[in-house]
Structures are given as structure tokens and as C-alpha cells.
Amino acid sequence: MEQQRLKSRAEIPEATKWRLEDIFSSNDQWEKEFAHVEKLLGEGGKFEGHLADNSDTLIACFEWMDDLSLRIEEIYSYARMRRDEDNRMANYQALTERAGALAVKVSSAASFVVPELLAMSEGRLEEFRATAPKLEHYNHALEDIMRKKEHILSSTEEKLLAQVGELAEAPGAIFSMANNADLRFPSIENELGQTVELTKGNYIQFMESPKQGVRQAAFETLYRTYEKQRNTWAATLNASIKSDVFYAKARNYPSAIEASLDDDRVPLKVYDSLVDTVHEFLPQMHRYVQLRKKALRLNELHMYDIYVPIIPETTMTITYEDAKNMVLEGLRPLGRDYTQILEEGFHKKWIDVYENEGKTSGAYSWGTYRSHPYVLLNHQDTLDSMFTLAHEMGHSLHTFFSNRAQPHLYAGYKIFVAEVASTLNEALVMEDLLDKTKDPKILAYLINHYLEQFRGTIFRQTMFAEFEKKIHSVVEEGGALTADNLSEIYRDLNAVYYGTDVILDPEIALEWARIPHFYNAFYVYKYATGFSAAIAFARAILDEGEPAVARYIEFLSSGSSDYPIELLRKAGVNMETPIPVRNALQVFAGLVERLETLLA
């Protein structure tokens, strides 16, 4: 049989590609803006050493910084998204490298500002704020700077740290290029006996195959490929962790995790409470694993059997057009304003839909303040891909509402709340499907999928979070991270989270090697907290209607105008207690029981 292959970028229909020309009409325009930013860098000299002179100078400096930030955001986003279209394109590799280097220069050029503000007497700053109404715009930003006083270094040291920034990004950049541009997987046979090239994009599709042999082949082929460079992956991840630890020590934090959490002003107890609460509900996770083993009629449940739908005969094929319609229907409870913007995103080339050779794997939402948001997908005509569309458009509409309501300074929302909008969309779409589905087999299939969202977003991401905390502790305590001990730590966590009813195939111990989020440390726990907050919002929207929608849209529109914990609290969700996580996991327990009844 003829082997299926990935299409080249040129073979992808134009209608399913995003339109990055909405940021820069051409590479030449990008070059002009690049040159303009290089000139703007020099203007910092007239502010350095003079911020305490008068309020006009301080305001002018803030406006210069904001202008620089807005422009470098566009320069970097355009270059990186162009590169993501096909990572093998040398010209866009070069543009991304140049944009990254320029971003470091921007950071370095403005690195004097925070130390100077901290050196200014509180009386002088208060005098400025009392006499210059324009400074009111910067109140929250100034408060955020002043609270970090003990972690800000001298102007010279801040410049040095800013210049080191490019080196600190190297492990993530090396991983990305190796993982996306250089790594190729062998071909395997699909259910029809066709030879198909395994890719990161179609891996999960293979893992959902009704044939265990296909799942096993995909699983073993993927990890054997990563195994060939296991020591390289370990060295790269180790370097990334050392970078995290270096920055935490340089900024006088007790640990890398506390340095990371402080950016959102999230107490460490929120992180630890998440792990503890999830551990409370691990018996429910193990119950779900037992149900999976029984429903699949397997004598042995392997790690490659974790993703396959429990109800294989109801496998749903969902085209991209179908996916858009399902998402739109599911999100109607959010109101006409929301769904009109959603439709605009579908029709005005916000989205890059299909996988092609060299394209970055996975999915994300990005964009700039002056452009509309963008979404990168690798759509596979599956239910999972439909939910990915809902998820990423949640991010994009969060960005849209925030950009519309907030000035650039406060438009970018913090990562802690970033996953709320995306997972709320998934929850509402799922609730719509569960409400409309009458066929018990399809209903069981959907409940299984919903359980998988809980497993993947709360249990799995919390396991990742626990792994990150453990491996950072090893380095902070003077230990070394090798492929062997990374794999041992990861394997042991899988044993705790999945229980005794699943066989821990040796390959799973290497899964850490392929997770890109580990290069953005202490990020993944926010998927779990965000999912929990999203379930709380979804229940309120479906139960209360318009008042809850109004609170939610206000939350989406708030950007980073306050600390994320406070924004959620104002909207009715208190993440400083274990209640949202516990309530979400009680929904999980109820779904397990419901599925047990359907399958009895």
C-alpha cells in the first residue's frame, strides 16, 4: 500500500492558514520596524539617572517602555509564528534568533528603571503620584514593583541579568529545534495495514486506536526514538533547571518554585494544596483505571491503553467544519457578544488548522495587542481536536476581551488565570453534548472523554507539577540530574498516580524527555488550578445565566489589572482554599460512578 505522508506547507489550502500579514504585511515591513526599535533603544539614556527629577520624566520613561514593549511583542510574535509554520525554514529561524536577541536588548535597555524606582524615596514617589494624575494609570504596576523590592538588584546587576537572558533561553530553544525540526520517527502500520509515518501530531490518534497492537507499536516506536538521545534530553533539561535555580538565587528567593509563584503573587500553599488535594482523590483515579481495564476486557492494562476510548465502536470522526459548529453551539450560554467574536475568529483567518512538514507540534493561542489573536492547531478530525479548538479559542477570546478593555500595560493576563477561559470553553461544550446526547453508547463515550479531560488536566498536570518540584529540589540540594534519576523519579510518580491496575511499561519512564512545558518551569500546575476554576465558572453560568456571564466577561476583560488570585476572587472563585479543586474532583468521582452504571 502507498505510504501516507505529511503534506508540505505549500500543499495546505490557503483558506486554512492564518494571516500573519495582519501583524506585518511583509518581511520588509518587519525589517523596518526592527530597525526602528533599535533606534528607540538609545532613548533610554535621557531617562537613566533622572527618574526622580520630576513626574514628567517618569511618565515619559514609562511611555517609552510601553512603546518598546508593544513593538518588540509584534517583532518577536511575527518571527516566531512564521518559524512555527515550518521549523526547517532557515530565514525564519534567523528572524526568530534576531527577534530574541533584540528582546534581550530591550530588556537590558530598560533594566535601570526598576532599580531607580526602588532607590527613590517613598515620599518622592508619593509626591509625584499626588501631583500627576497621569501616574494613576501606573498604580498597580508600581505596587507590583515595590512589593518585590528585596528581589530587585542594583542597576548594574539588573543589566547583567538581562544580558544573561539569551543564554538562559538556550536549553528551551535547543529542545524545541531538536524536538520539532530534527526528530523524525519511523513509520508504523495503522488499523488498515497502511504504512504511516509516526509524528507527534498523529501520536495520540494512534494511542486511541481500537487495536492494541497499533497502540503498542506507536508507544514503543515513539519512546525508542527519544531513547536514542536520552542523555542529551537529560542534559538539556538539567541546564534549564540550573537556569531557574540561578535566577532564584540571584534574586534572593528561597527556591525556584517560590521565585516563579511570586510573579503571580501566588502563595506556595496554593501549589502544595493542589498536590495534597489531588492525592486525596487518587483512589478515585485508581477506580477509573480499574473501570478502564474491565471495560476494555484486558487481562493487562498497559500505559499505551490509557488513551483509547473505553467505547471504541462509537469513535467519532469530526471534520474541522463540524468542530467549529460544535464549539459555537456549546458556547452559546456565553452570550451573543462572545459568539459573534468567536465567529469572526473562524472566518477571518485567525487559525492555522492542519499539520504540515516541519510545523510546530501541539496547539497554542498567541497574537499581539494591535492585531487579533492567532491560533496554531494540528487538527486531526477527532473529538480531541474539536476540544482543542474550543480550548485555544478560549485563550484567544480572553486575549480579545482583555485587549479591548485594557491599556497595553495591563492587557496581558497572568499565566495563573490563562487556563481558566480555555478549560471553561471545553467544559461548556462538553455539558452541551452530554445534555443533547440520548444514545447511551455515545453518552458513555463522551463521559469517558470528559473523564480524560480531568485525568489529563488535573491528575496528569499535577503529577507534572510534583515532578518539577522534585527535580528542582535535587539541583537546589546540590544533586545532579541524569537520564537515570529523572526516569526513576518520573516512573515512581506514575506508579503513585495510576495505581496497581496498570502495568508501568519501561518506556513511560522516559516521558519527561518529550514534555516541552518542563522548559517553562512551574507552569503546568496552572492547568489544574485553571481547570478547577473553570468548572466553578461553568456551573455558575449554567445555573445562574446572565449574572454569572456578566461576572465572567468582566473577569475576561480584566487582563492583569489586579493580581490573578484577586481577579478570580472578585468573580466568585477563591483559589486560596482547596474548595474549587475538591469540588472539581467530586465532579470527576460522580462521572466515574455514572460511567460505571452505563457500562454495567
Say which CATH number the domain at 69 has. 1.20.140.70
pLDDT at 119: 87
Q: What is the mean pLDDT of residues 566-588?
A: 91
- Catalytic-role residue among 73, 85, 355, 392: 392
**With bands split at pLDDT 50, 70 and 90, how would you rate the model's confidence at 1?**
very low
Residues 457 and 561 grouped into a single domain:
yes
| Cβ contact 465:525 at 8 Å | yes
Same domain, 508 and 594: yes
CB-neighbour burial class of residue 337 (10 A; exposed 0-12, middle 13-18, buried 19+) = exposed
The C-alpha angle 480, 484, 490, rounded to 5 degrees, equals 95
- Residue 392 placed within a domain: no
- Coil/strand/helix, residue 364: strand
Residues 121-154 pLDDT 10s: 888 989 998 999 999 999 999 988 888 888 988 8
Domain assignment of residue 559, yes or no: yes
Q: Could you report the per-residue pLDDT of 49-78, keeping only the tens digit for each?
A: 999 999 999 999 999 999 999 999 999 999
Residue 91 and residue 43 share a domain: yes
Mean pLDDT of 455-470: 96
Share of the chain above pLDDT 70, in %: 99
Same domain membership, residue 125 and residue 210: no
Shared domain for 426 and 475, answered yes or no, is yes
Among 120, 135, 168, the domain-final residue is: 168
pLDDT mean across residues, the chain = 93
Residue 52 forms part of a structural domain: yes
Decide: 79 and 92 in contact? Cβ < 8 Å: yes
Q: 318: which 3 cell numbers?
A: 469530526
* Band of residue 2 on the pLDDT scale cut at 50, 70, 90: very low
Band the pLDDT of 449: cuts 50, 70, 90: confident
Q: Quick one: 465 exposed, middle or buried, by C-beta within 10 A (0-12, 13-18, 19+)?
A: buried
**Residue 185 carries which side chain, given as an amino acid letter?**
F
Answer yes or no: is 435 within a domain: yes
Give yes or no: residues 296 and 428 share one domain.
yes
Which one of 168, 199, 219 terminates a domain?
168
Asked whether residue 70 falls in the same domain as residue 215, the answer is no
Cell representation of residue 311: 467505547
Task: Determine the structural domain holding residue 74 and report its residue range.
Answer: 19-168
- The whole-number pLDDT of residue 419 equals 87
- Residue 25: the pLDDT is 97
Q: Give the model confidence (pLDDT) of 376-393 as tens digits.
A: 999 999 888 999 999 999
Do both 525 and 577 map to the same domain?
yes
Question: Of the candidates 168, 196, 227, which is a domain's last residue?
Answer: 168
pLDDT of residue 312: 67
Grid cell of 234 as nine digits: 537529560
Q: Residue 369: pLDDT above 90?
A: yes
One-letter amino acid at 260 equals S
Is the domain of 49 the same as that of 132? yes
Residue 583 lies in a domain: yes
- Quick one: cell of 321? 467544519
d(CA 283, CA 453): 17
Quote the CA–CA distance of 63 and 445 in Å, as a whole number.
Answer: 53
Catalytic residue check, 392: yes
Q: Give CA–CA dist 227/505, Å, rounded.
A: 14
Residues 205 and 153 in one domain: no
Half-sphere exposure of 322 (CA within 13 A, CB side): 12
Q: Over the stretch 306-338, which tens digit does the pLDDT of each residue have?
A: 998 888 666 678 999 999 999 999 999 999 999
Per-residue HEC secondary structure of 305-339 comes to HCCCCCCHHHCCCCCHHHHHHHHHHHCHHHCHHHH
Query: Which residues does 222 contact at the CB level (< 8 Å), separation at least 6?
Result: 185, 198, 203, 514
Count of domains for the chain: 2
Burial of 184 (0-12, 13-18, 19+ CB in 10 A): exposed
Say what the pTM is. Answer: 0.79
Judged by average pLDDT, the poorest of 37-41, 262-266, 559-563 is 262-266
Q: What Rg, from alpha-carbon coordinates, does the chain have? A: 24
Q: Amino acid identity, residue 66?
A: D
- Give dist(CA 390, CA 98) in Å, integer: 33
Task: Give the H/E segment covering residue 565.
Answer: helix 564-570
What backbone torsions phi and psi does residue 500 show, to the nearest 5 degrees?
-90, -5
Structural domain includes residue 595 = yes
- Specify the pLDDT at position 508: 97
Q: How far apart are the first and last CA of the chain?
A: 41
Within this chain, do residues 148 and 217 fall inside the same structural domain, yes or no?
A: no
Question: Are residues 140 and 561 in contact, defined by beta-carbon separation less than 8 angstroms?
Answer: yes
CB 290 within 8 A of CB 501: yes
> Residue 165 is which amino acid?
G
Q: Look at residue 212 and tell me if it is in a domain.
A: yes
Residue in the block written with cell 518571527: 79
CATH number (domain holding residue 598):
1.10.1370.20
Q: Tell whether 454 and 561 lie within a shared domain.
A: yes
Per DSSP, the residues of 48-113 read: TT-TTT-HHHHHHHHHHHHHHHHHHHHHHHHHHHHHHH-TT-HHHHHHHHHHHHHHHHHHHHTTTH
- Residues contacting 383, CB < 8 A, separation 6+: 316, 318, 449
Can you tell me which residue has the cell 485508581?
286
In a domain, 507, yes or no: yes
